[in-house]
């Protein structure tokens, strides 16, 4: 998801840190995201306290070169996290923190946003500290996120966009079974240059038909 749905220049609401998510597990994802546990990582609700680690993980040139500019300060990430919680409560957006196994520090994000009524069509995206590239964490986290989107949220069609120059991102989407449907010409503005993007999709029925991904995700 290279065009991030969060736009800090439009967000004028100031929140207190008391809006941090509690550890109580919800029965409805709009009330708070569950914890998804895999073999190499955990996906959980964002916390305001994640702002520092996310700032250092996602603002490097290596990570941010093919995504919309992330917040430029820790305070900006705090506002993003509060915004993400409000959008989740409205049923429009889901954002999981990526936490490596044995740690409690967020090193990246998986996010899914609604593109149509009832979340039937959604766009997803990801960003993760380059320190964890090539570890298998992306593949496992992507499968966990897709399972959640299809089986819990009820998404029918999941879309992703990646700049053609982003070989790693396109390769990662292909690896998890996404299908490239076409090229969106000059559709992504980054650093003053319009870039072509590949449009990737996964359909719920296709995903379930390929249910050979290994152990299913554990929800806590």
Contact by Cβ (8 Å): 56, 131: no
Indicate if the alpha-carbon torsion angle 62, 38, 4, 200 is positive or negative: positive
Mean pLDDT, the chain, whole residue set: 87
Contact by Cβ (8 Å): 90, 84: no
Q: Grade residue 97 by pLDDT with cuts at 50, 70 and 90.
A: very high
For residue 78, is pLDDT > 60?
yes
For residue 94, is pLDDT > 60?
yes
pLDDT digits (tens, 9 = 90+) for 38-64: 999 999 999 999 999 999 999 999 999
Contact by Cβ (8 Å): 156, 119: no
Q: Which residue has the tokens 């093919």?
A: 66
Indicate if the alpha-carbon torsion angle 164, 170, 173, 175 is positive or negative: positive
User: Burial code of 33-49, b = ≥16 C-beta within 10 A, e = fewer?
Assistant: bbebbbeebbbbbbbbe
pLDDT digits (tens, 9 = 90+) for 110-166: 999 999 889 999 999 999 999 999 999 999 999 999 999 999 999 999 999 999 999
Domains of the chain: 23-210 (3.40.630.30)
For residue 109, is pLDDT > 80?
yes
Contacts of 9 (CB under 8 A, 6+ apart): none
Cα separations in angstroms, 51 against 78, 142, 165: 5, 22, 29
Q: What is the pTM of this model?
A: 0.83
Cα separations in angstroms, 6 against 117, 161, 168: 19, 16, 24
Task: State the pLDDT at residue 69.
Answer: 87
Beta strands in 164-210 (DSSP E): 179-190, 193-203
pLDDT digits (tens, 9 = 90+) for 157-205: 999 999 999 999 999 999 999 999 999 999 999 888 999 999 999 999 9
* DSSP letter (8 states) at residue 150: I
CA nearest to 155, candidates 202, 188, 189, 108: 202
Residue-level length of the chain: 220
- Alpha-carbon distance 119 to 63, whole Å? 28
Structure-block tokens of residue 54:
């996310």
């Amino acid at each position: 998801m290279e065009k991030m749905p969060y736009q800090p220049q439009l967000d004028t609401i100031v929140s207190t840190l008391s809006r941090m998510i509690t550890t109580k597990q919800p029965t409805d994802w709009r009330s708070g995201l569950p914890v998804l546990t895999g073999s190499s990582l955990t996906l959980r609700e964002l916390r305001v306290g994640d702002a520092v680690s996310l700032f250092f993980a996602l603002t490097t040139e290596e990570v941010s070169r093919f995504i919309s500019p992330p917040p430029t300060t820790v305070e900006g990430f705090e506002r993003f996290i509060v915004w993400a919680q409000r959008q989740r409560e409205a049923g429009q957006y889901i954002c999981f923190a990526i936490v490596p196994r044995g740690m409690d520090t967020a090193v990246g994000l998986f996010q899914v946003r609604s593109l149509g009524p009832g979340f039937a069509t959604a766009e997803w995206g990801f960003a993760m500290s380059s320190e964890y590239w090539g570890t298998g964490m992306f593949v496992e986290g992507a499968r966990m996120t897709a399972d959640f989107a299809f089986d819990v949220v009820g998404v029918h069609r999941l879309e992703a966009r990646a700049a053609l120059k982003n070989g790693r991102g396109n390769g990662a989407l292909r690896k998890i079974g996404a299908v490239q449907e076409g090229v969106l010409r000059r559709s992504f503005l980054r650093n003053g240059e319009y870039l072509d993007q590949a449009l990737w999709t996964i359909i719920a029925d296709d995903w379930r038909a390929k249910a050979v991904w290994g152990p299913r995700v554990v929800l806590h």
